[in-house]
Amino acid sequence: MSDRNLLVGPFNRVEGDLEIRLEVADGQVAAAYVNSPLFRGFEPMLLGKAPQDALTITPRICGICSISQSAAAAQALAAAAGATPTPQGALVAALLHGVENMCDHLTHFNLFFMPDFARPAYQGRDWHDHAISRFTAMQGSGLRQATEARAQLLHIVGLLGGKWPHTLAIQPGGVTRAPTARDRIRISSTLAAFRRYLEDVLFGAPVEDFIALTTGEAARNWSTGDAGTFMQIADDLGLASSGPGPGRYLSFGAYPMEDGRSFGPGLWEADSWRAVNTDEIGEDLSHAWMLGKTAHPRDGQTEPDEDMSDPGYSWCKAPRLAGQTIETGAFARQVVDGHAMALDLARHGSSVFARVAGRLLEIARTQVLLEKWARDITPEARFLEQVAVPQEGVGEGLLEAARGSLGHWLRIEGGKIAGYQIIAPTTWNFSPRDAGGVPGPLEAALVGAPVAEDEDTPLSVQHIVRSFDPCMVCTVH
């Protein structure tokens, strides 16, 4: 087999632009370089603006996870003001955010990930005809059902947030919309309809049955619904040994409420949990087209290197936790939260299979959470506290977007934004090399992926890239 270099991209069915350079030797990837070719400069443009404007500007980093960005901005502002949202405000914010995350997972599975299995290259496999009818891009019956179910579920965001994408309702002190008893009923009935979709179509069984699985083996044996189709395909193609991760899983914890976070925060490594100290975060710029030194995001700057000089090869910075790469996302979140099935999968290492199975697990668990939150809405309560933004202050907003850990670091001086740094989930997962030459998580995951002699856009690479559910517009922003 000949050695060669491949330039894979642009990737469609990915939010934003992505290009990957592959060094191929002996029929497999020997090294990968991930380039995020889109830079807009949100961090510099926030400087000098009124702090509250972050609530409107940062969501526009991304049209698919805009509520995550808006909630992180609200949290950073609240932290700077030393305030917390009202309990019911936090509850409604969680509902809004949970619905968005659910929709993102559904979009990923049906519109971005599964269509690759309908490709002609898989002709002759037992499942191929079924994959074609369910998941052919833009036409498959599964795609239509998912898009429809998602649009219905987003009515909840419409109701509570006025519009989606780019919802404005989440504020440092809570949410602008105080739901009525009537809203509560409407939300519950929308959730009931969504449960029917999940149980009839995606899982083919009660979501509780999927949540009750305790081992990777049990997940692999799941046979009903579209989830069952995925398990069958994953088994046939050996996706459980494709695209390994660094074995360190990060979660900032999802859905902050009065009594803690519904999916707990932490770092999982070598079968043990530890708390995350965000002081250990550093953004390395050695291989990014960015000027400056490695810095904590509190002190970080974003100054693009207009010469795009070597050894830089991406606009993406390289965040590291205590100097190490980490994997973040739905699977990492379920591992850190300690779900038995996720932990069992983690013991065998992260993979394309584990990431998608983790996402399915989270869909099931989120449905149960959303239903509980809807029941807990108390229309008489206060949903928003006035929060006076201070003239001087710093704040950190940490939460879990659909694709993983999202952090906003805000510094206010003289009543204006003097520093604003954002680390998005895909910034972690798709980061370039650091000063020590250590590749980012995706770059490492691609090493060893098989590339056939006649392949220019290797299928194995497509599956691995999409298993992370990248959001490139968030990555660099």
Residues in 44-103 at the binding interface with another protein, rule: CB under 8 A? 44-45, 48-50, 52-53, 55-57, 60-64, 66
> Hey, what amino acid is at 121?
A
Q: With contacts defined by CB under 8 A, how many residues of the chain interact with another protein?
A: 81
> Hey, what amino acid is at 57?
I
Structure tokens at 222: 């799941």
Bridge partners (DSSP) of residue 463 are none
Contact in structure between 289 and 314 (CB atoms under 8 Å): yes
Stretch that binds another protein, among 139-147, 258-266, 344-352, 438-446 (CB under 8 A): 139-147
Residue 178: enclosing H or E segment and its boundaries?
Answer: none
Q: Among residues 168, 192, 329, 139, which one has the least CA distance to residue 248?
A: 329
Query: Which residue lies nearer to another protein by CB, 147 or 294?
Result: 147
Query: Which residue lies nearer to another protein by CB, 267 or 370?
Result: 370
Residue 455 contacts by C-beta under 8 Å, 6 or more apart in sequence? none
CA–CA separation, 130 and 204 (whole Å): 16
Query: Which residue lies nearer to another protein by CB, 92 or 341?
Result: 92
Q: Among residues 166, 189, 220, 190, which one has the least CA distance to residue 360?
A: 220
Stretch that binds another protein, among 280-288, 343-351, 376-384, 426-434 (CB under 8 A): 376-384
84, 327, 473, 475: which one contacts another protein (CB under 8 A)? Answer: 473
CA distances to 14, 19, 262 from 258, in Å: 35, 42, 10
Query: Which residue lies nearer to another protein by CB, 92 or 240?
Result: 92
Contact in structure between 202 and 225 (CB atoms under 8 Å): yes
Instruction: Name the minimum Å distance from CB 15 to another protein.
Output: 5
Instruction: Name the minimum Å distance from CB 467 to another protein.
Output: 15
Structure tokens at 326: 């980490």
Instruction: Name the minimum Å distance from CB 75 to another protein.
Output: 17
Site for another protein in 428-457 (CB under 8 A): 456-457
CA–CA separation, 441 and 325 (whole Å): 6
CA–CA separation, 117 and 12 (whole Å): 15
Instruction: Name the minimum Å distance from CB 224 to another protein.
Output: 25
30, 87, 122, 136: which one contacts another protein (CB under 8 A)? Answer: 136
Query: Which residue lies nearer to another protein by CB, 154 or 444?
Result: 154
Query: Which residue lies nearer to another protein by CB, 58 or 229?
Result: 58
Query: Which residue lies nearer to another protein by CB, 118 or 211?
Result: 118
Instruction: Name the minimum Å distance from CB 24 to another protein.
Output: 15
33, 42, 230, 468: which one contacts another protein (CB under 8 A)? Answer: 42
**Would you count residue 418 as binding another protein (CB under 8 A)?**
no
Rounded to whole angstroms, the maximal C-alpha distance in the chain is: 70
Site for another protein in 392-411 (CB under 8 A): none
Structure tokens at 302: 């974003």
Instruction: Name the minimum Å distance from CB 453 to another protein.
Output: 16
Contact in structure between 2 and 459 (CB atoms under 8 Å): no
Bridge partners (DSSP) of residue 422 are 408
Site for another protein in 147-186 (CB under 8 A): 147-148, 150-151, 154-155, 157-169, 171, 173-178
Query: Which residue lies nearer to another protein by CB, 17 or 209?
Result: 17
The alpha carbon torsion through 80, 81, 83, 86 (nearest 10 deg) reads: -100
